[in-house]
Structure 1
Amino acid sequence: MDDAAVLKRRGYIMGINLGEGSYAKVKSAYSERLKFNVAVKIIDRKKAPTDFLEKFLPREIEILAMLNHRSIVKTYEIFETSDGKVYIVMELGVQGDLLEFIKTRGALQEDDARKKFHQLSSAIKYCHDLDVVHRDLKCENLLLDKDFNIKLSDFGFSKRCLRDDSGRLTLSKTFCGSAAYAAPEVLQGIPYQPKVYDIWSLGVILYIMVCGSMPYDDSNIKKMLRIQKEHRVNFPRSKHLTGECKDLIYRMLQPDVNRRLHIDEILSHCWVQPKARGLSSAAINKEGESSRGTEPSWTPEPGPEKKSATKVEPREEARPETKPEEDAAQVAKQPEPLGLSSEQLPREKEEVPPQQPPETHT
């Protein structure tokens, strides 16, 4: 039977195509039982690579079945047919994804970004508390419901973290995700702490929310990595971001994994907590990193060496994957992006930086 006939027998009336890859596709459908539209991810086992079938698909199915959070896409049903097709019926992001939203409307105001980022961070805390990591956080994987609330989706790279005999989380060696959102340790092919990797991606996402552009140019990975390891983050002057917002982004885009914020520290940061906003810089430092060192929050880059970071957007890829800079392990193959295609975000016009640019961290 074709997909429409299979879905009809299960009580779904198939609708339009939402996205398609080499061995997976997403269709919209109307559920006669639920009385509303859903998304159906259809995976063809006959076309999928072995590592996906043996490792990633079982993980995704196991994790989707256990998650239940208001800011994570709901999974209503998972079933398989005798001809080797897997059907995953999920909540539909009726307002599209966050990348499309920002492309259309531009950067978010901080109050709107705060609401959406808090929803996303709450979803990540829920996952991390279950020792589940996403490992592919990006704007295309953040869907919006009818009220424009965030719904985290696409757990194709997710996994349950393992612990050693002492209870510490073991490092991951599978290098996956999108280069533009990948942490420096992943780009370098270093075994990494997967929860800490998720935090870097959160930093990139918040930057995109409030700036409408990418924090780093991933067209030159070596150059991007050098800038990241120097802990340089440029903010467009035209956005007039608050110090608290820039402080939070800067602390998430921390190349030192031992100093990068944890999810609980993000949720307790003064920018995320409206009642705590307006704290002094000393209070911000105490809340954010006093336990991790004494690195100053705001150290402008020296004027003569000041260079504006190129703002670039996620590029269309088969299934965006990080490829470590030189000799890291082979990247795991995954389905192509399903849903709205990734197109360029609005670019910030180059501006002449001031002598003492407050929007640059080093």
Structure 2
Amino acid sequence: MDDAAILKRRGYIMGINLGEGSYAKVKSAYSERLKFNVAVKIIDRKKAPADFLEKFLPREIEILTMLNHRSIVKTYEIFETSDGKVYIVMELGVQGDLLEFIKTRGALHEDDARKKFHQLSSAIKYCHDLDIVHRDLKCENLLLDKDFNIKLSDFGFSKRCLRDDSGRLALSKTFCGSAAYAAPEVLQGIPYQPKVYDIWSLGVILYIMVCGSMPYDDSNIKKMLRIQKEHRVNFPRSKSLTSECKDLIYRILQPDVNRRLHIDEILSHCWVQPKVRGLFSAAIIDKEGETSGVHEPPWAPESGSDKKSVTKLEPQEAQPEVNPESQAKEEILQEVSRLLDTRSPAPTGGQPSRDTVEGGSPKPPDTHT
């Protein structure tokens, strides 16, 4: 029987084609039981490579059956036919993916980016707490529901992390994902910490959300790697980004894996937490509760014309910018003093180094590397 007949027997009316590869395709379908549309991923074992069948597919199926989070695509049913086809019935991202959304509408305003990034970070924390890593985080794998909420999808490269006798997570050696979103340690072929790799990709995604372009040009991997290792990040002058937002991106895109933020530090960062936003522009409070004076952040663009992106993800017609609300310096300093008096911990940790900031802006690849 063809796919339509097989799905019909399971209570699904097959719809349009959503995507197709060499051994897998995704169809839309209407579920007579659920009374709404779903996505059906159909994998043909006869056409799939051996390593996919032996390693990646079993991992994906195992992990999909474990996950239950509001910001992760739901899996409703998985079944296999006698002729070797696997059907995975999942939640449908009715508004498409985040990359197409940004290409169509341009960079997100910070409030919208904050909401979506918090949803994504919460999903990653949920996975990491279960010792599950995604390893292919990119805008194409972030679907949007009818209310434009983030739904993390495509766990084809995911795995459960193993621990050694001391309880430490084992390193990974397999290169997964797309080069434009890959951490420098992965690009170098060094055994890497998979959770820390996911974090880097989060930083690339947040940059794309608020800038509408890529932070690094992956058309020249050697040059991109050098820029990454020097901890250089360029923020377009045309975007009125807050210091808190730039600080978070800068700390996530940290080439030193021992200094890169953990998922809990991301979720507690002042930009993600609305109640403490606005303090960073006046002072940075370190973990010991000490504060430095007002300073120029290390990512401040030099005077002169802005360096244009090589490839924009946003439309040519610029979207209106939203400037952050101004706040009197005296009020900010008073709030900092109040926090110091109560010995509140720093929302972001130590002060970033004063590195020169620049970089490129490419288009992400369409296929896995």
Per the shorter chain, which TM-score range? 0.7 to 0.9
User: Does the 8 Å CA contact 2:142/2:152 hold for their aligned counterparts?
Assistant: yes
**SS of corresponding position for 1:27:** strand
Whole-angstrom CA distance in 1 between matches of 2:245 and 2:104: 23
Letter in 2 for 1:200: W
Secondary structure of the structure 2 residue equivalent to 1:26: strand
Matches of 1:95 and 1:68, distance apart in 2:
21
- Offset from partner CA, 1:107-134 (integer Å, 9 cap, x none): 0000000000000000000000000000
Q: Describe the SS at the equivalent of 2:101.
A: helix
Kept in 1: contact 2:13–2:29 (CA 8 A): yes
Separation in 1 of the partners of 2:133 and 2:41?
21
SS in 1 for 2:241: coil
What stretches of structure 2 of length at least 5 have no aligned partner?
Answer: 288-345
Count residues in correspondence.
309
Closer, same or farther in 2 for the Cα pair 1:207/1:215, shift >3 Å?
same
4+ runs deviating over 3 angstroms: 284-287
> How far off its partner does 1:271 sit?
0.2
Q: Does 1:108 align with 2:108?
A: yes
Question: How many Å separate the matches in 1 of 2:230 and 2:157?
Answer: 28
Asked if the contact 2:178/2:365 (under 8 Å) is kept, the reply is no
Q: CA deviation at 1:313?
A: 1.1
Counterpart for residue 277 of structure 1: 277
The reply to whether residue 65 of structure 1 matches residue 65 of structure 2 is yes
Q: What is the CA–CA distance in structure 2 between the aligned matches of 1:278 and 1:220, rounded to whole Å? A: 37
Q: Please give the alpha-carbon distance, in whole angstroms, between the structure 2 residues aligned to 1:287 and 1:93.
A: 33
Alignment partner, residue 293 of structure 1 = none
Secondary structure of the residue aligned to 1:233 is coil
* Counterpart contact for 2:39–2:91, Cα < 8 Å: yes
Alignment match, 1:53 = 53
**2:299 aligned with 1:297, yes or no?**
no
Partner of 2:146: 146
Structure-to-structure mapping, 1:100-139, within 5 angstroms: 100-139=100-139
2:347 is equivalent to residue 287 of structure 1: yes
Alpha carbons 1:261, 1:288 under 8 Å: kept: no
Aligned-partner residue type, residue 363 of structure 2: E
* Counterpart for residue 344 of structure 1: none
% same residue: 87
1:282 Cα deviation after fit: 1.5
Q: Which runs of 5+ in 1 are unaligned?
A: 291-295, 322-362
Give SS of 1:198's match.
helix
Q: Does 1:310 align with 2:349?
A: no
Deviation, structure 1 residue 300: 5.5
Secondary structure in structure 2 of the residue aligned to 1:29: strand
Paired letter, 1:42: I
Q: Cα–Cα, structure 1 residues 35 and 81, in superposed 2: closer, same or farther, change >3 Å?
A: same
1:97–1:142: 8 Å Cα contact kept in structure 2? yes
1:166-213 superposed Cα distances (whole Å, 9 cap, x missing partner):
100000011111000000000000000000000000000000000000
Q: Which has the larger radius of gyration?
A: 2
TM-score (ref. length: structure 1): 0.84
8 Å CA contact 1:134–1:159 kept in 2: the answer is yes
- Cα distance, 1:234 vs. partner? 0.3
Mapped contact 1:23–1:45 kept (Cα < 8 A): yes
- Structure 2 counterpart of 1:60, one-letter code: E
Q: Aligned pair in 2 of structure 1 residues 56, 189: CA closer, same or farther (>3 Å)?
A: same
Kindly indicate whether structure 1 or structure 2 has the higher relative contact order, using CA contacts under 8 Å at least 6 residues apart.
1
Relative to structure 1, the CA distance from residue 219 to residue 176 in structure 2 (aligned partners, 3 Å threshold; closer, same or farther) is same
Query: Which residue type is aligned with residue 266 of structure 1?
Result: I
SS at match of 1:237: coil
Which amino acid counterpart does residue 283 of structure 1 have in structure 2?
I
Alignment-mate amino acid for residue 299 of structure 1: R
**Amino acid across the alignment from 1:36:** F
Q: Counterpart of 1:118 in 2: which secondary structure?
A: helix
- TM-score with structure 2 setting the length: 0.82
Aligned counterpart, 1:265: 265
Superposition deviation, residue 311 in structure 1: 1.3
Aligned counterparts of 1:201 and 1:61: Cα–Cα separation in 2: 23
User: Distance in 1 between the 2:238 and 2:275 partners?
Assistant: 26
With 238-247 and 276-285 compared, the bigger mean Cα shift is at 276-285
Q: Distance in 2 between matches of 1:211 and 1:282?
A: 24
8 Å CA contact 2:134, 2:198 repeated in 1: yes
